[in-house]
Amino acid sequence: MSNSEIREPAVSPEGQKEVNIDPDIQQIKSLSRFQLMKRAFFKNKLAIAAGFVLIILYITMVFFPNLFSTHPPFQQDRNNMYAPPQRIRFFDVDGNFNLRPFVYPYDMELDFETFQYEYTPNYDEKKFIYFFNRGFSYKLGGFWDTDIHFMGLESEEDMFFIFGSDRMGRDIFSRIVHAGRVSLTVGLVGVALTIILGSFFGTLSGYMGGIIDQIIQRIIEILLSFPTIPLWAALAAALPQDWSSIRIFFGISIIIALRNWAGLGRQVRGKVMSFRESEYTIAARIGGASHLYIILHHMIPNAFSHIIVIGTLSIPAMIIAETALSFLGLGIQPPMVSWGTLLEASQRVNVVINYPWIMIPGLFVVIAVLAFNFLGDGFRDAADPFSS
Amino acid sequence: MTAFLVRRSFYMIFTLIVVSILGFIIINLPPGTYLDVYIAELQSMGTATAMEQRQAIVQRFGLDQPLYYQYWNWISGFIRGDFGISFMYERPVSDLIWSRLGYTVILSTSTLIFTWLVALPIGIYSAVNKYSIGDNIFTFFGFLGLSIPNFLLALVFMVISARVLGHTVGGLFSMEYRDAVWSIGKFIDLLKHLWIPVIVVGTAGTATLIRIMRGNLLDILNQQYIQTARAKGLKENIVIYKHAVRNAIHPLIMQLGMTFPQIISGGMIVAIVLSLPTVGPMYFEALAQQDMYLAGTFLMMVSFLLIFGNLVADFLLALVDPRIRYE
Amino acid sequence: MNKNKDTSDKNLLEVKNLKTYFHQEEGVVKAVDNISFNIKQAETLGVVGESGCGKSVTSLSIMQLVPQPRGKIESGKILYYQKDSSVPVDITSLSPRGEKIRKIRGNEIAMIFQEPMTSLNPVYTVGEQIMESVRLHQQSRQKEAREKAVEMLRLVGIGSPEQRVDEYPHELSGGMRQRVMIAIALSCNPSLLIADEPTTALDVTIEAQILNLMEDLQKKFNMSIIFITHDLEVIGEMSDRIIVMYTGKIVEKATIEDIFYNNKHPYTAGLLSSIPQIGVEKRLVTIKGSVPDLKHLPAGCNFSPRCPKVMNICHTQEPPDIQISENQFTSCWLYEKRKDDVV
Ligand SMILES: Nc1ncnc2c1ncn2[C@@H]1O[C@H](COP(=O)(O)OP(=O)(O)O)[C@@H](O)[C@H]1O
Ligand SMILES: [Mg+2]
């Protein structure tokens, strides 16, 4: 027994000193916690696949849309209005194999009974697809004059439509790539704002308690009692008509974030309230740390993983909100395009029924949203290994 | 219990007042009003009475008065059932909104019931059979449902029905019943049409509820009192349904406050695609035309619905949870 | 209940070479690793050990309530001598959800848990929760069951039971809730009560009350108790015999006197020395280090890294089981060495 180490009881005034002398141990602990999270995350195959999809989407659409689009987004082809998606082929009609993929151009005819365009592939002419060939010129990454494209036909004048064309004969694929830039960033801007507002007010509310908490809680309650779409629509309709499209873009993300922070705020408040009671916080208070210090050095880092998870999981809501507003014509304004504005054409049901490929931009909304959901779910499981 | 309800009702009235003020401000935000357009139209027709009419309208709504006066004017009318006038339709707002609100309520409550009926059993199954094949399938479809904007789902429904059935599935009534008086036939016709918007609007909410129910039930199944129940020798089914599910339902009821706005919001856009006679299409049109009293009334009514829905949720919560009842 | 003390030599429960493991992705947790003990009728058996040593898993194994699907009774026998039969049932052979074990649970073997605050279902009244058990096992009607519930509440020392019976758990204090748990457990006259750290979450005065109550009720009901705790001090007042557990194994088994005054295993000694003594300056002497992760156990004796009397052999070979006397057993190299000194 005499060999047993003599120790101070856990709860002693010196307990706080212990916290302070062992910064290395703290470090190691938090590091291994982070590594634990990392390991948990990388085990989740679905989340990794989702992350991979998102990286591809961001590279092709946000960073280098011109490189990856086959035509300028506004180039029209009067002979190819509402052209259906063209098949990319390796075998020609006679069954001969070509290593270089190609398309058959369309012959267009107007059916005078139904007043619809009829397209039939012209099997006599092969248009080969070249990779990294020259097309329309643009500035790569915004600086670099070039006309190299990931893929395209031999002649810049010839258009081909992987996802078909719209009512003005514009290439839907190229428009999707360009629209992705707006749709994929509107969410990020909105989420950044949501996180700032939500964690600020949530922390304030949870940490301060009392009357401040009451007021913030009432504000959150009121925000949550407005239905989203009608509120956003009303606010979006109030944006001045003479604003530039970039200002509208930011206006829209602010509008969406203005309501959406409420949910995050509530959750952060809950987290912070439980931290407030933790031994560490009490010890730090006894040690004379200021509220601000505790909030910045303890609360926020501790709630951080939580905030990241909620942040990731609320990007989908942002993307869907932007899509919905633009679909209604109240969101992003021309000349900017987003997946939602591309879908606006689908409002007329009889058009969609005849030319369903104009809904393809919606597919990208689903892919992006699904990917963010899987990614966020992966983050959540990783941040909270005991939840599953 | 009564104290609890009184307090919640008091909050509700407070929230209503704030929401109505905010709503009025938001609707008045756009520069210019439909009135300008309306008067310009009257003047261009050269009617001698244009100025007089303008004066009458300005007087009636106090448009030359400060905003707070206009608000007071409007909200006190509201209590009397006078919501102002729609410039676009040139009719009192109260003539236009009731049937649309009615169908909105019908659609929303049907959707709510649908989401619960589908989500509860699936959520329970998924939690009890965690990581089974069934659970994984439901989880995947849940994610998918969560990721499809519902108006897109509506479009897909329309295209498929047009291509497969040969006719579209929009609206809430067939032609012959659209303007008919209510009858059993009309009601059945309504049911025949209702299921599509219900599924379309309800998908996302169902997916959310399944995940919440599954997560909660898993939490609850780890609680000590579940072990207590098992230690009593109860059958596993009784442990799950009597002891676990009953507790896991709370957060779902709390979620009502979130599900209901989702359903109403979602329903508004879907209504455009499916051409439903609900609030949505008219509201967006009013917004686009800056028909402020019409839009404002809709915004207000929809918010009222939500706040009222929250009150009902609180009430239900108090019913199932003794801790809240005695708080 | 007409058992009397002279039947108390008969075994009520015999646990033989029980192994209960948890299969996790990172490895197998041998929560209970080859333990054997028995309990006689009307006896109190104390089980001590730091937390994480497998005490709760042992008790859950006896109830066939090991958390599925990860946990599993790997091998061993739990022989239980039922009220009205002389042939024992092997509980490990019963299906965890089957009817046979459900007739035993709550009826013949009852259990109370460490956390009174969360042991009761918050949405049902106290009465409903007692009646549930009564109606399940005694097929009594609503009215009788309610009377029984009131009677049980009175028995466990809850004032004005006629009113309390309709209250919800959140209206009761922790001590009261633990009394209710005891009422539920005893409502069907069990032969064996497993109390898993019933007083750990309570403060000292309440703890004493609950312990007294349990002692009284044990006499009244003439039942056996397995009393689990990590606090030797508590167990001293209650138990006839004690088993000391460490990392899923039994390291010492003895009568209460031997544990306190003639203990053999250094771990038992360590546990004893961490009891704070009144009057002595409030410094706890604790065993150095902490319970190792059951997935990464040291070679040799599991206690070797913490043992003040550790020897070389302890680091390499598992300690032998040593019968010190008829009633005392330990698992430690110290005593083996003494015997074979010359070799
Ligand atoms: N459901 C479970 N899943 C995995 N491991 C468990 C589970 N329950 C207990 N264990 C492990 O079994 C060991 C013994 O736990 P327990 O019997 O609860 O300890 P005690 O009751 O002595 O404090 C611990 O290491 C614990 O981690
Ligand atoms: Mg335990």
Q: What is the mean pLDDT of residues C281-307?
A: 80
- Strands, E assignment, A244-340: none
Q: What is the pLDDT of residues C160-184, one digit of tens each?
A: 999 999 999 999 998 899 999 999 9
Contact C269 A9 (CB under 8 A): no
Give the pLDDT band of residue C48 (cuts 50, 70, 90).
very high
Give the separation between CA A365 and CA A374, rounded to whole angstroms: 14
Check if the beta carbon of residue A70 is closer than 8 Å to that of residue A151.
Answer: yes
Check if the beta carbon of residue C63 is closer than 8 Å to that of residue C105.
Answer: yes
Higher pLDDT, C1 or C324: C324
Q: What is the mean pLDDT of residues A312-334?
A: 87
Contact C286 A4 (CB under 8 A): yes
Nearest CA to ligand 1 atom 25: C52
Give the separation between CA B187 and CA B182, rounded to whole angstroms: 7
Contact A4 C285 (CB under 8 A): yes
Of the candidate ranges A354-358, B57-61, B75-79, C16-20, the one whose mean pLDDT is the lowest: B57-61
Give the pLDDT band of residue A208 (cuts 50, 70, 90).
confident
Domain A174-387 CATH class label: mainly alpha
Higher pLDDT, B13 or A289: B13
Contact A224 B258 (CB under 8 A): yes
The percent of residues in chain C predicted with pLDDT above 70, rounded, is 93
> Distance from CA of residue C167 to its chain's centroid?
29
Q: What is the mean pLDDT of residues A265-290?
A: 78
Check if the beta carbon of residue B285 is closer than 8 Å to that of residue B21.
Answer: no
Domains and CATH numbers, chain B: 31-82 (no CATH), 100-291 (1.10.3720.10)
Of the candidate ranges A144-153, A171-180, B75-84, the one whose mean pLDDT is the lowest: A144-153
Q: How do the domains of chain A map onto residue ranges?
A: 174-387
Q: Could you check whether the bond before residue A121 is cis, i.e. omega within 30 degrees of 0?
A: no
Contact B27 A234 (CB under 8 A): yes
| pLDDT mean across residues, chain A | 79
- Does the beta carbon of C114 lie inside 6 Å of ligand 1? no
Q: What is the mean pLDDT of residues C12-29?
A: 91
Give the pLDDT band of residue A21 (cuts 50, 70, 90).
very low
3-state secondary structure of C38: strand
Check if the beta carbon of residue C109 is closer than 8 Å to that of residue C194.
Answer: yes
Q: What is the mean pLDDT of residues C94-119?
A: 91
Facing residue for C270 by CB, picked from A4, A6, A8: A4
3-state secondary structure of C322: strand
3-state secondary structure of C128: helix
**Confidence at residue A2, expressed as pLDDT on a 0 to 100 scale:** 38
3-state secondary structure of A245: helix
Higher pLDDT, B32 or A63: A63
**Confidence at residue C164, expressed as pLDDT on a 0 to 100 scale:** 93
Nearest CA-CA distance, residue A167 and chain B, Å: 18
> Which H helix or E strand runs over C76?
strand C71-80
Nearest CA to ligand 1 atom 7: C22
Give the pLDDT band of residue C20 (cuts 50, 70, 90).
very high
Q: How far is the CA of B119 from the centre of ligand 1 (A)?
A: 33
Chain B adjacent subunits, 3+ CB pairs under 8 A? A, C
- What does the pLDDT profile of chain B (327 residues) look like in tens digits? 677 778 888 888 888 888 888 888 887 777 666 666 666 766 776 666 666 777 777 777 677 777 788 888 888 888 888 888 887 888 888 888 898 999 999 999 999 999 999 999 999 999 999 888 999 899 888 888 888 998 999 999 888 888 887 777 777 887 777 777 888 888 888 888 888 899 999 998 899 889 889 988 998 998 999 999 999 999 999 999 999 998 888 778 877 777 787 888 888 889 988 888 999 899 998 888 888 888 888 888 888 888 888 888 888 888 877 776 654
- Strands, E assignment, B64-218: 85-86, 91-92
Whether C149 has a pLDDT exceeding 80, the answer reads yes
Q: What is the pLDDT of residues C197-251, one digit of tens each?
A: 998 888 888 888 888 888 889 988 889 999 998 888 888 777 889 999 999 999 9
> Which H helix or E strand runs over C16?
strand C11-24
- Strands, E assignment, chain A: 89-91, 97-103, 106-111, 116-121, 127-140, 144-153
C104 contact B CB<8A = yes
Check if the beta carbon of residue C188 is closer than 8 Å to that of residue C151.
Answer: no
- Does the beta carbon of C20 lie inside 6 Å of ligand 1? no
- Does the beta carbon of C125 lie inside 6 Å of ligand 1? no
Residues whose CB is less than 8 angstroms from the CB of residue A42 and which lie 6 or more positions away in sequence, other chains included: A48
Give the pair of three-digit tokens for residue A106.
């369309």
Higher pLDDT, C120 or A274: C120
Q: How far is the CA of B50 from the centre of ligand 1 (A)?
A: 85
In a 10 Å sphere around its CB, with 0-12 CB exposed, 13-18 middle and 19+ buried, how is residue A95 labelled?
Answer: exposed
**Confidence at residue B18, expressed as pLDDT on a 0 to 100 scale:** 87
Q: What is the mean pLDDT of residues C3-29?
A: 79
**Confidence at residue C5, expressed as pLDDT on a 0 to 100 scale:** 42
**Confidence at residue B229, expressed as pLDDT on a 0 to 100 scale:** 95
DSSP B244: I
Nearest CA to ligand 1 atom 23: C51
Residue in A with minimal Cα distance to C266: A1
Whether C146 has a pLDDT exceeding 50, the answer reads yes
Partners of C224 in the β-ladder: C192
Whether A24 has a pLDDT exceeding 60, the answer reads no
pTM, rounded to two decimals: 0.81
Q: Largest alpha-carbon pair distance within chain C?
A: 73
B163 contact A CB<8A = yes
Q: What is the pLDDT of residues C306-341, one digit of tens each?
A: 988 888 888 888 898 889 888 899 999 988 765 454
Q: What is the mean pLDDT of residues C49-74?
A: 91
Facing residue for C273 by CB, picked from A1, A7, A8: A1
- Does the beta carbon of C53 lie inside 6 Å of ligand 1? yes
Give the pLDDT band of residue A384 (cuts 50, 70, 90).
low
Give the pair of three-digit tokens for residue C302.
């599991």
Q: What is the mean pLDDT of residues A167-171?
A: 86
Closest-lying ligand 1 atom to the alpha carbon of residue C51: 23
Of the candidate ranges A119-128, A229-238, B14-23, C86-95, the one whose mean pLDDT is the lowest: A119-128
Using an 8 Å CB-CB cutoff, list chain B residues near A320: 149
Give the separation between CA C269 and CA A192, rounded to whole angstroms: 58
Q: What is the mean pLDDT of residues A226-249?
A: 83
> Which H helix or E strand runs over A29?
helix A23-43
Q: In what order do the strands lie in the sheet with C321-325?
A: C109-112, C192-196, C224-229, C44-48, C241-246, C249-255, C328-331, C321-325
B147 contact A CB<8A = yes
Q: How far is the CA of C19 from the centre of ligand 1 (A)?
A: 13
Check if the beta carbon of residue B86 is closer than 8 Å to that of residue B93.
Answer: yes
DSSP A171: B
Partners of B132 in the β-ladder: none
**Confidence at residue B227, expressed as pLDDT on a 0 to 100 scale:** 93
- Does the beta carbon of C57 lie inside 6 Å of ligand 1? yes
Whether A6 has a pLDDT exceeding 80, the answer reads no
Contact C119 B235 (CB under 8 A): no
Q: How far is the CA of C248 from the centre of ligand 1 (A)?
A: 9
**Confidence at residue B170, expressed as pLDDT on a 0 to 100 scale:** 75
Give the separation between CA C64 and CA A348, rounded to whole angstroms: 63
